[in-house]
Amino acid sequence: MICPKCGRKYEDDMPQCLWCDAPNPKRNKETEEVYESSEFSETAESEDDGKPRKGTLIFWMSIILGEAGVHCFMSGRSLRGWLYFIFGGVAFSFWVGALSPFEIYFPVAVHFIMYFTSIAVSVLTYIDAWKIAHGKYTNTKKGFNYTGAKWMTVITILSIVFSAAYTSISFVGHAKSGFLNIESYNKDLREKSIKKTSKSDSESIAAVIETYILKQEQFFKSENKLGRFKEIGFADTTASMYFQIQDLGAGIGVTYKSMFGCSTNSTWLYTTSIQDGKLTWYTSAPQDENCKEAFPKLYILTPNSECVNQE
């Protein structure tokens, strides 16, 4: 390399002249080219970030794990993702399952609130899936949209129909059993309640029926006729939320009013009739095996004794 300033010769790779310290024009030109090339590469990469990206993965995340907020985390919506995760029921269901073995349960009000917030999160999740399917869902962190497809729209519609049907069935079930009834939300508590009911309430009801039979027999012996509850001095002292007692005149009826462990409105009838001056009892009970398992005491109690009128 010949220095343009002093005319002396030096190596081409030297940054400047060894004699007069003039900069090497050739070396500086190469440095500028490398810098411009690097700047162009960064600009191209930055521009590429704004281009639409394929939305297949994030779409499936919104459909399968939408209530966990996974697709929100993927698209840079961390806060929204945490809200989905908490109020969509995923975290709540985890803690319900984790604490149940220790017999630690959330209050019914918490179950009630979480039931409706999970429905709201499901609606928002399907709105997100719809946006992805139509290419209108943006990655807020990098600024690009996810590309959609027609098949995504079809999947979203089918998912909405299925979810709506499931939610409707669930809503009806909760409405029948009571939205503020803990049994509506916690399966473990349902089973515990059924066991408790079969041991306590059914035994209590059986005792009531035995008392009624005794009162009716005593009334028949003295009056030679059948009487209603008030006439025979029978008072229904039960305070059961599961069973309802009916005065049949010539007998007593017991109807199951809940829906767990036995069909709703299952009825046991204990009736009597006078035949040749004798009082004969009959029992009509549901043949549902679940009812037999849940309330065996009501099946063991089968009065068929005869009470003879003594005049």
142-183 pLDDT tens trace? 889 999 999 999 999 999 999 999 888 888 776 766 555 555
Residue 278: what pLDDT?
A: 81
| 259 and 275 both lie in a single domain | yes
CATH code: domain of residue 293: 3.30.700
Range(s) of the domain holding residue 246:
196-308
| 172 and 279 both lie in a single domain | no
Q: Which of 128, 151, 185 is the last residue of a domain?
A: 185
| 300 and 229 both lie in a single domain | yes
Residue 149: what pLDDT?
A: 92
| 272 and 252 both lie in a single domain | yes
Residue 43: what pLDDT?
A: 46
* 100 has pLDDT over 70: no
Residue 244: what pLDDT?
A: 87
Residue 72: what pLDDT?
A: 93
Mean pLDDT, rounded, for 1-11: 74
**Number of domains the chain contains:** 3
| pLDDT confidence tier of residue 185, bands split at 50, 70 and 90 | low
Residue 306: what pLDDT?
A: 42
Mean pLDDT, rounded, for 100-124: 80
Amino acid at 310: Q
Residue 70: what pLDDT?
A: 92
Rg of the chain over CA atoms, in angstroms?
40
CA torsion 266-272-273-274 (nearest 10°) is 180
Report pTM: 0.47
Q: What is the pLDDT of residues 25-84, one digit of tens each?
A: 776 555 555 445 555 444 444 445 568 889 999 999 999 988 899 999 999 999 999 999
Q: Is there a domain that residue 190 lies in? A: no
Adjacency order of strands within the sheet including 145-147? 53-54, 145-147, 137-138
Mean pLDDT, rounded, for 245-269: 84
